[in-house]
C-alpha cells in the first residue's frame, strides 16, 4: 500500500519530490490519521499541539480541505504541502510553457491570500482582514485601533478604490518581499 502510494505520487506529483521524503510524509500522514481510514479529518489536525498555539492554526487546517469537503487524502495533503517546496534553481529556467508548479511564487501567494479570503470572492474585505488581525494581534489592542490598522492596510494596497484587496493588489503590495524564501520549507526539497 505504501509503495503504491509512493509510486502514485511519483507519477502524479509534478515537482520532483524524492522517494524518502514521500515515505517520510506518508508516515507522518498515517501517524496523524487516528481514524486509520486513509484520510485526515479536521480533528486529526487539531490534535497537533503546536497548532493550538498558532494564531492562524485553524485557518491553515482549513486550507488543507478542498471546498465543501471534510476529509483530505494523502494526495490532497501532499498537494497542499507542495506549496511550500522551495523553488530550486534548475526549476526556474526550464519548462516555461508547462503548467505552473504549485510552488511558484504566485501559488505561494495565493495560498496565503486564501487564508484571508473566507468568502472566496477573490477580495480581502475589511471584515476579513480584521478577523485575521484580531487573530494575530494581542488582546491589548482595541478594536478601534485594529480597525484603523485594517483601514490603513487596505488603503495602502488598494488601487482600484473598492476598499478591498484583490489578489492582484495583494501580489503588487508584496512584490518586494522574498516570498520564495519566506514561504518555503527546506524539508520539502
SS3 65: coil
Nearer to another protein, 47 or 92 (CB): 47
Report which of 188, 169, 187 is spatially closest to residue 109, judged by C-alpha positions.
169
Residue 188 touching another protein (CB under 8 A): yes
Residues 93-132 that bind another protein (CB under 8 A): 111-112, 115-116, 118, 131-132
Nearer to another protein, 51 or 91 (CB): 51
- Strand pairing partners for 87? none
Q: How near is the Cβ of 145 to another protein at its closest, in Å?
A: 6
Identified binder of another protein from the candidate list 135, 159, 162, 168, rule CB under 8 A: 135
SS3 128: helix
Longest dimension (CA), the chain: 55
SS3 162: coil
Q: How near is the Cβ of 79 to another protein at its closest, in Å?
A: 13
Binding characters for another protein, 29-68, by CB under 8 A (x = yes): --xx-x------xxx-xxxxxxxxxxxxxx-xxx-x---x
- C-alpha grid cell, residue 86: 522551495
Piece of 10-18, 87-95, 99-107, 166-174 that binds another protein (CB under 8 A) = 166-174
Nearer to another protein, 7 or 141 (CB): 141
Q: Kindly state the DSSP code that residue 66 receives in the 8-state scheme.
A: P
Q: Measured on CA atoms in the order 115, 119, 121, 125, is the torsion positive or negative?
A: negative
In order, the DSSP letters of 84-135 are GSPPPHHHHHS-SSSPPPTTSHHHHHHHHHHHH-TT-SSEE-HHHHHHHHHH
* Chain residues that interact with another protein, rule: CB under 8 A: 25, 28, 31-32, 34, 41-43, 45-58, 60-62, 64, 68, 70-71, 81, 84, 111-112, 115-116, 118, 131-145, 148-149, 152-153, 156-157, 170, 173-174, 176-177, 179, 182-183, 185-188
Amino acid at each position: 500500500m505504501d509503495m503504491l502510494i509512493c509510486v502514485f505520487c511519483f507519477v502524479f506529483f509534478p515537482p520532483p519530490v524524492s522517494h524518502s521524503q514521500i515515505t517520510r510524509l506518508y508516515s507522518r500522514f498515517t501517524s496523524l490519521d487516528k481514524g486509520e481510514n486513509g484520510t485526515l479529518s479536521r480533528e486529526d489536525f487539531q490534535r497537533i499541539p503546536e497548532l493550538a498555539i498558532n494564531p492562524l492554526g485553524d485557518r491553515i487546517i482549513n486550507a488543507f480541505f478542498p471546498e465543501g469537503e471534510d476529509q483530505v487524502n494523502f494526495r490532497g495533503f501532499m498537494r497542499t504541502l507542495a506549496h511550500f517546496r522551495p523553488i530550486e534553481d534548475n526549476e526556474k529556467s526550464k519548462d516555461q510553457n508547462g503548467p505552473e508548479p504549485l510552488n511558484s511564487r504566485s501559488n505561494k501567494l495565493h495560498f496565503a491570500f486564501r487564508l484571508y479570503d473566507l468568502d472566496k470572492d477573490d477580495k480581502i474585505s475589511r471584515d476579513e482582514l480584521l478577523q485575521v488581525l484580531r487573530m494575530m494581534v494581542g488582546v491589548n489592542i482595541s478594536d478601534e485601533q485594529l480597525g484603523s490598522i485594517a483601514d490603513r492596510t487596505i488603503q495602502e494596497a488598494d488601487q482600484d478604490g473598492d476598499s478591498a484587496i484583490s489578489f492582484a493588489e495583494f501580489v503588487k503590495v508584496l512584490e518586494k518581499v522574498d516570498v520564495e524564501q519566506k514561504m518555503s520549507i527546506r524539508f520539502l526539497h
